[in-house]
Structure 1
Amino acid sequence: MKSILFDLDGTLVNSSSGIKSSFRYTFEQLNLAVPDDNILSTFIGPPLETTFSNLFKSEELVKKAIAYFRLYYKEKGVHDVFVYQGIYEALTDLKAANYELYVTTSKNEPMAQLMLDELGLSKFFKAVYGATPHRFKKDDVIRACLSSENINQNEALIIGDTKFDIIGGISAGIKTLGITWGIGQEADLLNSGADKICHSPDNIKKALTF
């Protein structure tokens, strides 16, 4: 295994508070009832386009919701985040072992880069791939990374905390490592086809042996 693709939210960082606040703001601006915390948690992981399209039939309303979310997130939500314990050490160890590290996330790409910069994580990654207006599904983001970086599928693996990471990795033809310190549940990761499960950042390197 040579190239490691990391999910961002729920894998490298805990950004749930900022994301939920941004969703609350969005519903308030649309004069809609704000879902409870448990429902808001299910919105973390999928692309905004997918989440809002499942909620609203109107394409115009979907676009308006995305705009409200990104407005608030850019100003406040993106800063409401912290790095999971052990991630700095794990990334340092992987980089020292000459793994090529990338971020592949459904988060808006400029926001993902900003977050990584502010948290001091950018230095670990060769490149960051996120959602764009024409590329927001996880498998498309992964494929963009593989193609642009000339990565051999047989030498690549994605690490993520939700079924969307696992399904995206399988669709893109790479190995998958599900992690349990984020938002997703181990059962969902396994049911989605994860090749392996890792329970702590300290054990990431050990889990890369296939």
Structure 2
Amino acid sequence: MTKETIILFDLDGTLIDSTEAILESFAVAFKQFEEEVPEDELIKAQIGHPLDWMFLKLGVEEEKIWDHVAAYKQHYRKISKAKTVLLPSAKEAVERASEFAMLGVVTTKTAEYSIELLEHMGLMDYFDVLIGRENVEHPKPHPEPIYKALERLPHPPEGEIWMIGDTCMDMHAATSAKIKGVAVSCGYGTVEQLSKCSDLLCKNSLEAVTFIAKK
């Protein structure tokens, strides 16, 4: 297999676990505006969506959403490196994938912070492109983030293109972009949910990469 193959990774729940940093930053944002902090499970159920969408779904009035987003980001940036960890086997997955594929990250997180996190973890050099929330008008499940990533990667028409992600938003984006998707159950999507949106389900990103390598 040559590097005609492209593998795009989601970030949260696929390669990293930043749950603690996310929950803490949401709590800070709600408290800053003297509002009741939603229960952790309600917040976690929205992870993978853009921040503005998450705050809307958590009951914030539309005109106040971007103030909450700003408060969240201000705190998140301070704590994200200390309170984010690589998921088990994630580093091995990226290293293995880089042996036969060009790699990218497609995330609804802010690209700037995502790059900082991956540099901190010693993984950014493996990726040829990273598309974050500020790089697109329409985030996942829209295919635009995948299209943007592919625009920045040279690939022949016959090259295989894969998306690895932990939510149905990742799988729907892959389907809409007409690329192949592999769901992983190590993140925020349940096996039941993922089984409804993907024919391919692996335990983690390493298992997904190993599967792709054998295709």
Q: How does 1:55-134 map to 2 (within 5 A)?
A: 55-56=58-59, 58-96=61-99, 98-132=100-134, 134=136
Deviation at 1:148, TM superposition (A): 2.8
Query: Would you say the 8 A contact 1:158–1:169 is kept in 2?
Result: yes
Query: Would you say the 8 A contact 1:146–1:153 is kept in 2?
Result: no
| Residue equivalent to 2:139 | 137
Give me the CA root mean square deviation. 2.0
Q: Find 1:162's aligned residue among 148, 158, 167.
A: 167
Query: What is the letter of the counterpart of residue 117 of structure 1?
Result: E
Q: Find 1:179's aligned residue among 168, 184, 188.
A: 184
Query: Would you say the 8 A contact 2:115–2:124 is kept in 1?
Result: yes
Moved over 6 A (4+): none
Query: Would you say the 8 A contact 2:105–2:131 is kept in 1?
Result: yes
Deviation at 1:105, TM superposition (A): 0.4
Q: Find 1:26's aligned residue among 29, 36, 39.
A: 29
Deviation at 1:133, TM superposition (A): 7.0
Query: Would you say the 8 A contact 1:47–1:136 is kept in 2?
Result: no
Query: What is the letter of the counterpart of residue 101 of structure 1?
Result: L
Greater CA deviation, 1-10 or 57-66? 57-66
Query: What is the letter of the counterpart of residue 146 of structure 1?
Result: L
Greater CA deviation, 23-32 or 129-138? 129-138
Q: SS at 2:145's partner residue?
A: helix
Task: For 1:24 and 1:184, locate their aligned partners in 2 and report how far apart those are by CA, in whole Å.
Answer: 22
Deviation at 1:141, TM superposition (A): 1.5
Query: Would you say the 8 A contact 2:81–2:120 is kept in 1?
Result: no
Give ranges in structure 1 of 5+ residues lacking alignment: none
Change (3 A) 1:5 1:130: same
Q: SS at 2:47's partner residue?
A: coil
Q: Could you give the per-residue CA deviations for residues 166-190 of structure 1, whole angstroms, max 9, x where no partner exists?
A: 1121122211100011121111112
Identity %: 27
Task: For 1:40 and 1:153, locate their aligned partners in 2 and report how far apart those are by CA, in whole Å.
Answer: 40
Change (3 A) 1:136 1:27: farther
Establish whether residue 51 from structure 1 lines up as the match of residue 65 from structure 2.
Answer: no
Task: For 1:74 and 1:112, locate their aligned partners in 2 and report how far apart those are by CA, in whole Å.
Answer: 10
Deviation at 1:57, TM superposition (A): 6.7
Deviation at 1:163, TM superposition (A): 1.3
Query: Would you say the 8 A contact 2:6–2:159 is kept in 1?
Result: no
> Could you say which structure has the higher helix fraction?
1
Q: Find 1:3's aligned residue among 6, 12, 27.
A: 6
Task: For 2:129 and 2:158, locate their aligned partners in 1 and report how far apart those are by CA, in whole Å.
Answer: 17
